[in-house]
């Protein structure tokens, strides 16, 4: 009993010490907490009731609004009626928080709404956005996809309609710089002039057609970054306003897209994932960094285009990151193909890289990229052990004088991998640094990489026989790094 009283007295002492702090310090402390924890401080005492209102980053998702206990049972919402109950709880609670935040607290830096809400809650969403805009919000992230709240494939009603995003809550002076939308609809007519100050726009699973997108971009003259993911109403895109400040263009899995025309004087980076489309590059003097990943049955045509015609269309290209899926062995590359005169770095991922590959593509690369300085090969060899096959690999000698750095990931030490490395060592006469690792390196977009760990067999083999072999064959003039 005495111990309990001592602990209680100790806790009161700690609380009293907090009570002695000025509001400015308490505000700073609470602003560092997750939103849900910040809201809970309102129950400490009357003085603490509205300290949370200083929180400048508002993220409303399932856990922050409905609690972790509700989140654990979200997969039980198999019927639309149950989901609608959760939606109303979510909206009512966010309404109360935003109404309180509207009259208290200073600037809001960011507003994020991650919950499966549809058109029938649009007025609430507009109200939340408007409240944040009045507080000077700079970043708005609206993710209304099903996966944020419920089990995918559940019994969402067929009558469920997506929220229609309107620019009206942004009319007037505002500080908004970043806008991210997921699973909603753009509808005409809209006034896009209020979006002119935006620096970054990301649209994911958004219903917007070519015309609406072009109207939007024509008013966003300060836009530097545009991402379009899974926007299936886009068919032909034309980025033809050369006065745009657009520097980074990211298009991913817009599967109805047939053509892309780009004329942007400031564009420096392009990332494209999807079916091979018709590319037209008219005026891209600063485009130096391109990532391409082609899918569907015509992916061979896409990879061939990237290694041939792209050289004449993007003449200032310095870095090419190319994903080859089920195509590297089937490529028919010309003996005297075009030359990439400015490319200094090439990243090539090969899915899969198996022992039937005759390696003709590597000789082509050494010829087509004469000024290449850095080469990264991300190999995805089958993880199971196959009986080695004898493949005639009669590769021409192709000395390369400028390549100084070579990185090979997903290297298991199999015969065809060893022959690839030996060919490079024989022909890359200025090599200074070689990095070899078993882990597979996967590109996730915009300089974001992840490593997938190799199985224990290949990791063990790398530490013993493969590393020993590498140390024997690599000249002392080359710095070897084994990962």
Distance CA 135, CA 129 (A): 10
pLDDT of residue 2: 53
Alpha-carbon separation of residue 181 from 139, 229, 338 (angstroms): 11, 10, 41
Distance CA 300, CA 326 (A): 8
Cα end-to-end span (Å), the chain: 58
Q: What is the dihedral of CA 305, 311, 314, 320, to 10 degrees?
A: 80
Distance CA 327, CA 273 (A): 15
pLDDT of residue 288: 97
Let me know: does 134 contact 173? Beta carbons within 8 Å.
Answer: no
pLDDT of residue 189: 53
14 half-sphere exposure, CB direction, 13 A CA radius: 6
- Bridge partners of 179? 140, 201
Max Cα separation, the chain?
90
pLDDT above 70 coverage of the chain, percent: 80
Distance CA 443, CA 409 (A): 12
Give pLDDT tens digits for 21-48: 565 566 666 666 677 676 666 656 665 6
pLDDT of residue 427: 96
Let me know: does 430 contact 398? Beta carbons within 8 Å.
Answer: no
pTM above 0.75, yes or no: yes
Cα angle value 14/16/21 (rounded, 5°): 100
pLDDT of residue 393: 72
Distance CA 171, CA 195 (A): 8
pLDDT above 90 coverage of the chain, percent: 51
Residue with the two structure tokens 């021409």: 396
Q: What are phi and psi of 288, to 5 degrees?
A: -120, -10
Give pLDDT tens digits for 434-459: 999 999 999 998 889 999 999 899 89
Let me know: does 381 contact 408? Beta carbons within 8 Å.
Answer: no
Let me know: does 274 contact 254? Beta carbons within 8 Å.
Answer: yes
- DSSP assigned state of 159: T
Residue 312: partners with Cβ closer than 8 Å, 6 or more residues away:
338
Distance CA 62, CA 45 (A): 26
What average pLDDT score do residues 96-122 get? 88
pLDDT of residue 58 exceeding 60: yes
Mean pLDDT of the chain: 85
Let me know: does 383 contact 411? Beta carbons within 8 Å.
Answer: no
Helix (H) or strand (E) holding 202, with range, is strand 200-204
pLDDT of residue 96: 87
């Amino acid at each position: 009993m005495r111990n309990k009283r001592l602990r209680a007295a100790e806790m009161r002492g700690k609380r009293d010490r907090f009570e002695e702090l000025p509001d400015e310090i308490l505000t700073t402390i609470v602003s560092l907490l997750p939103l849900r924890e910040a809201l809970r401080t309102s129950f400490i005492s009357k003085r603490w009731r509205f300290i949370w209102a200083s929180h400048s980053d508002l993220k409303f998702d399932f856990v922050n609004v409905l609690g972790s206990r509700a989140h654990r049972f979200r997969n039980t919402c198999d019927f639309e009626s149950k989901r609608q109950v959760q939606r109303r709880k979510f909206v009512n609670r966010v309404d109360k928080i935003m109404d309180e935040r509207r009259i208290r607290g200073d600037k809001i830096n960011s507003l994020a709404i991650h919950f499966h809400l549809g058109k029938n809650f649009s007025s609430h969403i507009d109200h939340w956005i408007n409240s944040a805009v009045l507080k000077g919000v700079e970043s708005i992230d609206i993710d209304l996809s099903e996966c944020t709240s419920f089990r995918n494939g559940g019994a969402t009603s067929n009558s469920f309609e997506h929220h229609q995003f309107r620019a009206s809550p942004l009319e007037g002076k505002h500080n908004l710089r970043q806008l991210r939308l997921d699973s909603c609809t753009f509808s005409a007519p809209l006034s896009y002039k209020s979006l002119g100050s935006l620096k970054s726009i990301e649209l994911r699973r958004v219903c917007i057609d070519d015309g609406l997108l072009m109207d939007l971009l024509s008013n966003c003259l300060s836009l530097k970054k545009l991402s379009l993911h899974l926007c299936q109403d886009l068919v032909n895109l034309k980025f033809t306003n050369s006065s745009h400040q657009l520097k980074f263009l990211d298009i991913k899995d817009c599967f109805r897209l047939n053509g892309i025309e780009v004329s942007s004087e400031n564009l420096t980076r392009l990332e494209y994932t999807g079916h091979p489309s018709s590319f037209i590059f008219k005026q891209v003097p600063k485009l130096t960094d391109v990532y391409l990943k082609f899918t569907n049955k015509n992916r061979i045509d896409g990879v061939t285009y990237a290694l041939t015609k792209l050289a004449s269309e993007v003449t200032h290209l310095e870095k090419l990151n190319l994903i080859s899926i089920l195509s590297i062995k089937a490529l028919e590359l010309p003996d005297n193909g075009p030359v990439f005169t400015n490319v200094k770095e090439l990243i090539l991922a090969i899915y899969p890289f198996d022992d039937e590959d005759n390696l003709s593509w590597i000789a082509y690369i050494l010829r087509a990229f004469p000024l290449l300085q850095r080469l990264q090969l991300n190999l995805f060899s089958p993880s199971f052990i196959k009986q080695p096959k004898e493949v005639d690999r009669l590769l021409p000698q192709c000395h390369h004088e400028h390549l100084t750095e070579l990185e090979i990931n997903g290297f298991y030490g199999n015969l065809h991998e060893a022959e690839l490395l030996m060919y490079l060592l024989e022909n890359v006469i200025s090599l200074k640094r070689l990095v070899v690792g078993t882990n597979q390196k996967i590109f996730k977009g915009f300089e974001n990489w992840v490593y997938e760990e190799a199985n224990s067999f290949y990791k063990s083999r790398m530490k013993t026989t493969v590393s020993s072999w590498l140390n024997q064959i690599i000249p002392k003039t080359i710095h070897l790094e084994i990962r």
